[in-house]
Amino acid sequence: MLFRARGKIHRGESAVEIVRSLELAAADYPYRGQSIRRFLRWSLERLRDSVHPRELDLSDTLEDESLALNYLCLCDECGAGELLINHQDSPA
């Protein structure tokens, strides 16, 4: 899985790995290494002007991987990045 944002490509086996890579790349993020949900809240707040408010809520019932993937899809939809899924490993 690949995610392109701000001219950089983030790679990972999972959406959580990509979101962690985005966290490391966010120079102004002050809570590095804490929960994925904290980073997602911080990052979604920065998208407030281009995302409908209902999209900014993080469900308590979703696992981190689902939230991370939903976040990457949302960023792709609103133009804040591009989600690329590599299908080379898929069976024919």
Note whether 11 and 18 are within 8 A (CB). yes
pLDDT for residue 48: 83
Q: Please report whether residue 23 resides in a domain.
A: yes
Number of structural domains found in the chain: 1
Q: Which helix (H) or strand (E) holds 38?
A: helix 36-46
pLDDT for residue 92: 45
Is the pLDDT assigned to residue 8 strictly greater than 70? yes
Q: Please report whether residue 65 resides in a domain.
A: yes
Q: Please report whether residue 40 resides in a domain.
A: yes
pLDDT digits 0-9 by tens, 75-92: 999 899 999 986 565 454
Task: Find the range with the poorest average confidence among 9-18, 39-48, 51-60, 80-89.
Answer: 51-60
Q: Please report whether residue 20 resides in a domain.
A: yes
What is the pTM for the complete model shown?
Answer: 0.85
Q: Please report whether residue 89 resides in a domain.
A: no
Q: Domain range holding 66?
A: 2-84
Q: Please report whether residue 90 resides in a domain.
A: no
